[in-house]
Structure 1
Amino acid sequence: MCNHQTTSRADTVGSFLRPERLKEAREQFAQGTISRQELSAVEDEEILKLIDKQKEAGLTVVSDGEFRRSYWHLDFFWGFEGVEHVNMGQGYLFHGEETRDDSARLSGKIRFTAEHPFLAHFRFLKENAGEGIEARQSIPAPAQLYAELVRGVNEEKVNEIYPDRKVLFADISHAYHEAILAFYELGCRDLKLDDCTWGMLCDKNFWATMAGANYNVEDLKETYLKLNNDALKDLPADLKLSTHVCRGNYHSTWASSGGYEPVAEVLFGKENVDSFFLEFDDERSGGFEPLRFVSGNKKVVLGLITSKHPELEAKEQIKARIREASQFVPLDRLYLSPQCGFASTEEGNKLTEQQQWDKVRLISDIAAEVWSDRKEGCS
């Protein structure tokens, strides 16, 4: 039997450059010259435009571009009870740049609350995605929250509130589990965990630094795996779960380097997701050999198109790399996307909106050509 429908192999990680009108509105809100309601109205209008642009570019899974967020991760953390917004005095250090100094720190026990603002964000996206279009919810991984809570002086609060780390791990995973179920109740059937923790463990310099700070890398891998997998236990069977493993993406710069080999056996073999979004846009990402550890029928979304720079990749070179990756994961389990979002923070990467959409259309064109003769649901 065959349903004669071709599943789109073109995808994105989810964040898009903020339109100037939205940037201006966010600045006006910060200055107190417009209300939250007025800012939300601008966000709504710009997200509706973005949904249309994604569909016009050939995407069948859409996001809200993270237009309501300042950061890809911190805004979600701040929505939990027991987590507060603080300023560290120093931002995240990237290759040649430093971010703003916002962070998330414990103020009490971690709890999910039905007032988490991301629920309303998803409801709007779901209601406006349109017929036959999947609305994807992206959130930072549980492991990422843990990494933030023990970052620098933040760890002092962890030691005070959770002297037993096992209780902390259980509370993080439980809060996430409840959040995911709340998204599901709103109609979410495609949820992605964005996760830089594994990418950092791929970097030899990071390993050396963490080892010097009395962290055991092997223990960290098991901790990250348990945090994520415990949050993903006993979820509805029709909920698609994916994770995006990143090495940092801020204003077209990066935070870590190294191939996936150091984490591949644990991450690709044991994390309970259906798909992996992986960064392969330059030599820092290493080769495709670690994909041999991808277990079962899990899918891999190859991040071969860079979101950091405006130059368009050559189609034939990307096709050749897809063929190379198919030596380790069959072509019918591969997809194509940028290596990361276009704006992991509201600053965005160094390219124009037109160049961003040229990249997305290139992905759609290549995917259509590579997988044009492959029909889903055929036997």
Structure 2
Amino acid sequence: MLTHEEIMKALKHVEDPELHKSIVDLNMVRNIEIDGSNVELEVVLTISGCPLKARIKEDVESSLKGIGASNVSLTFGSMTADERAALTKTLKQNATTETGMPNMLRTDSGVRFIAVTSGKGGVGKSTVTVNLATALARMGKKVGILDADIYGFSIPAMMEVKQKPTMIDKTAIPVISNGVKIMSMGFFTENNNPVMWRGPMLNKWIQNFLTNTHWGELDYLLLDLPPGTGDVAIDVAAMIPQSREIIVTTPHNVASYVASRAGAMAKHTKHEVLGIVENMSYYEEQDGSRNYLFGKGGGDMLAHQLESEVIARIPFAKREENNHSNVYDEDSLTGEMFASLAQDLVHREQVLRN
């Protein structure tokens, strides 16, 4: 006959798929009844409409049958308001310092921040962000994207995210797509309505995204910044002084010229420029020749101005490379280029730490 202790030990390995913590540690397991090899129990969810309830059910049944249960009868309840408040308090205590600063912003947190920026819109900055983040996740890294482009948010649409973050009181649980945790203003607007705020409100929301989001364990947090040198870029520089930057441009000399301002700001705020990504560098014809649709030399010119280097030249993708998605297939030419970029950045970090 199974014992209560054996059941709790087995369920210790079942995680809440959003909080990524054991359902035992979260006190979600209740009312266990044992009759020989038959087990009845209740799992109390953070919210009644938990979108991943089916996964929890499958994991609980699999774990208990793995220790000899022949039949598992599982019912679901939901936490009371007081229980949710206590859980939120625990999550925040684990995620912030005594002064309220997120632990991830501590210089010894182990989280590497990479801000992806550009001088102007339309150069593929967000495309670089989502594909670099996905490439890092494919390497086994724990990755998040903070869509800090408050006015021009596009990450949820680009990563084809339909659902909104689960809210536990005022703490948001990031949505996961392609193995990447995502938080964006796009989750909090209706029908693609514009955001019409001034500086102080922008600063408040960036702080909320960092403080009131349960990011969990991260190796990398990529920040998709608005183009240019406005309020958000200034606030991020102040809040995350250890962030490094990637500057995205096209080969066109005007795009490169405008992007130099973003690079100059990065240097002024003492953010290290990791390098230049030249997007839409060329189109590869069927015979292997390259058609330079936007000219040549913009990335090199920008790298020279910023005393940096071009760390990737991303071509126009062919339709078959991504099946109409903004995330390129892992084995496509463009996907392999982003994988190489991710490997290069990880190697640079390792060299810096050693």
Which TM-score bucket, shorter chain as reference?
Answer: 0.3 to 0.5
* Larger RCO (CA within 8 A; separation ≥ 6): 1
Structure richer in strand, relative to its length = 2
Q: Which has the larger radius of gyration?
A: 2
TM-score, length of structure 1 as denominator length? 0.33
TM-score, length of structure 2 as denominator length? 0.35
